């Protein structure tokens, strides 16, 4: 199926595919940063960086075909640190700039995709918080002695780390959505508070 309509304009399907591919690279960049923070082996990081660099070269060619007005903006990136490269997503520009660069439909695609991803993260948070509460209750009932108590605390610490990481991904999507036009008072995608992550407040 062609991604170009008879009038030469890209289809919305193609825009979704392009934005999705860029967001995949965004996630890969975050993974590289996490690998560096966790002191992963240099050889492993190097291989993953090479993949991210390759993906960036490919996607930038597609971006220029889709939005030629960005040709003066998309600059070279450091292949040694592709995790720091800009992705030139519509959410990185204000509304007037998106109009000038003719990124409105790409922005619409990014909005829909990020809104879906943000809601998925909220659902994951609900599940993780329930798991954490269950672990905590089980610790109070079943932990006998220091060894078992330490085991429970290690398990709970891992769950808490997952909760924080999931919340960060959600906030990243929400921040981009605000730039793309999400009302700040949107009830379905509210900012997260510490009480939400601890289970003191229900996830909206």
For every residue of 8-46, DSSP letters joined together read SPBPHHHHHHHHHHHHHHHHHHHHHHHHHHTT--HHHHH
Q: Where are the domains of the chain?
A: 12-88, 118-198
- Asked if pLDDT for residue 4 goes beyond 50, the answer is no
Q: What are phi and psi of 35, to 5 degrees?
A: -60, -40
Mean pLDDT, rounded, for 11-31: 92
Average pLDDT, the chain: 91
Cα–Cα distance for residue pair 4/200, rounded to 1 Å: 50
DSSP of 80-94, one letter per residue? T-GGG-----GGGS-
- Tokens 């700040």, located at residue: 184
How many other C-beta atoms can be found within 10 angstroms of the C-beta atom of residue 49?
21
**Which residue has 């003066």 as its token pair?**
72
d(CA 153, CA 38): 20
pLDDT band at residue 11 under the 50/70/90 scheme: low
Does the pLDDT value for residue 8 go beyond 80?
A: no
Q: Which two tokens mark 153? A: 């605390």
Q: Is the model's pLDDT at 60 over the cut of 60? A: yes
Percent of the chain with pLDDT over 70: 94
Lowest mean pLDDT among 96-100, 131-135, 138-142: 138-142
Give residue 16's pLDDT: 94
User: Residue 65: its pLDDT value, please?
Assistant: 93
Indicate if the alpha-carbon torsion angle 41, 29, 82, 12 is positive or negative. Answer: positive
Q: Rounded to two decimals, what is the model's pTM?
A: 0.85
* % of the chain surpassing 90 pLDDT: 80
Which pLDDT value is given to residue 145? 78
Residue 140's pLDDT band, with cuts at 50, 70 and 90, is: confident
pLDDT of residue 59: 96
Residue 143's pLDDT is: 73
Q: With the CA atoms of 111, 114, 125 and 201 taken in that order, what torsion angle do they form, in degrees rounded to the nearest 10?
A: -20
| Residue 10 pLDDT greater than 60, yes or no | no
Q: Can you list the alpha helix ranges (DSSP code H) found in 143-185?
A: 145-179
Average pLDDT over residues 110-117: 96
b or e along 183-204 (b: 16 or more beta carbons within 10 Å of the residue's beta carbon)? Answer: eeeeeebeebeeebbebeeebe
């Amino acid at each position: 199926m062609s991604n170009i309509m008879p009038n030469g304009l890209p289809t919305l399907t193609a825009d979704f595919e392009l934005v999705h591919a860029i967001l995949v690279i965004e996630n890969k960049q975050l993974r590289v940063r996490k690998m560096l923070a966790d002191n992963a082996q240099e050889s492993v990081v190097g291989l993953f960086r090479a993949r991210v660099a390759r993906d960036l070269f490919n996607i930038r060619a597609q971006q220029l075909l889709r939005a030629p007005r960005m040709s003066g903006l998309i600059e070279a990136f450091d292949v040694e640190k592709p995790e720091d490269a800009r992705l030139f997503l519509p959410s990185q520009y204000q509304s007037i700039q998106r109009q000038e660069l003719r990124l409105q439909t790409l922005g619409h695609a990014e909005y829909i995709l990020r809104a879906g991803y943000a809601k998925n993260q909220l659902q994951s948070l609900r599940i993780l918080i329930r798991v954490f509460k269950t672990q905590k209750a089980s610790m109070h009932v079943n932990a006998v002695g220091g060894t078992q108590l330490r085991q429970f605390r290690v398990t709970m610490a891992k769950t808490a780390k997952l909760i924080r990481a999931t919340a960060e991904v959600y906030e990243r999507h929400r921040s981009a959505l605000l730039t793309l036009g999400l009302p700040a008072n949107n009830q379905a995608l509210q900012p997260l508070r510490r009480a939400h992550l601890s289970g003191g407040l229900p996830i909206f």
